[in-house]
Structure 1
């Protein structure tokens, strides 16, 4: 069965992963984010319970 023979496609897969890992990924990770995450203080809103007219 030729599907089980890794000789034709294994080298292509290996080269594509190495290309992604060593060339493309560092270029993508070097971009700066337009909106960097900031630490926000959590605000709690003061809520009042609803007064039901039939109780």
Structure 2
């Protein structure tokens, strides 16, 4: 699956739940760093008081 397919057309809250337990890594040169996603936060845009975009 292309990573864009994971995100496209899905609600933010669903994506957030689906990220939990997935591996995440970053490769730079010969070094590979990573781990597992164990928590995530979903901000739901201008209607979510916790989001930076709240109120437009």
TM-score, L = length of structure 2: 0.21
Larger proportion of strand: 2
Give 1 or 2 for the bigger CA radius of gyration.
1
TM-score, L = length of structure 1: 0.21
